[in-house]
Amino acid sequence: MHEIYDSIQGESTLAGTPCTFIRLAGCPLRCGYCDTTQAIPTDSGEWMAMEAIIAEVKRQGRPLVLVTGGEPLAQKQCIELLKELGKLDCIVQLETSGAYLIDQVPESVHRIVDIKTPGSLEVERNRLENLALLTANDELKFVITSRDDYEWVRQFIVEYNLAACEATLLMSPAYGSVAGSDLCAWMLEDRLPARMQLQLHKVIWGAQATGV
């Protein structure tokens, strides 16, 4: 466990919702825009018993809990954690890099799956088998670092017929690399079947804040 804390969800279709964040330690990827580098080392956290995690989530009593990282699916016990969280009276989201198969994630969990663009420097990590596993509960997220990245995503949406995908498509400008106004203009011009999102927590608390 890297950290567990109380805040609002800053991204996804549930942005703005009070949320308990469970940030697991460790990630094998090295995205150029990573804003949680502090959680990348596997030793950046401490072991926390499953019962203690569930007790803390219950104590906070939020309508939403997000399991994130790092890369949460890099930890084998993440699936067990998701199953335990699924027994609680709240929505459970999982944010994952898309570098791991999501087939073992319980159906009730809302999966937010990244598709890494070339600008992330980790495009080879995409497990494209995940595309066929997505449901209307899920969200597919693209972080755009440049106009080239945007063009790559546009082609990707066509190539994999994502206009017909049940999952919500999300596009985020990489903080400090692409202006939100530019991304908006490109999406409107091309009539992309996607939603634009900003990182609400950075708007509220600033780009450098952690644990919020």
Instruction: Say whether residue 34 binds ligand SF4 (CB under 6 A).
Output: yes
The whole-angstrom separation of Cα 37 and Cα 26 is 9
Tokens of 210: 């952690």
Q: Find how far residue 31's CA is from the centre of its chain.
A: 13
CA distances from 171 to 26, 45, 67, 77, 174 (A): 25, 30, 20, 30, 9
Instruction: Say whether residue 30 binds ligand SF4 (CB under 6 A).
Output: yes
Alpha carbons within 13 A on the beta-carbon side of 74: 20
Instruction: Say whether residue 115 binds ligand SF4 (CB under 6 A).
Output: no
Among 11, 71, 138, 149, binds ligand SF4 (CB under 6 A): 71
Instruction: Say whether residue 170 binds ligand SF4 (CB under 6 A).
Output: no
Residues 44-63 as x/- pattern, contact with ligand SF4 by CB under 6 A: --------------------
Span interacting with ligand SF4, options 32-40, 80-88, 166-174, 182-190, rule CB under 6 A: 32-40
Which residues of this protein are in contact with ligand SF4, per CB under 6 A? 27, 29-31, 34, 36, 40, 69-71, 97
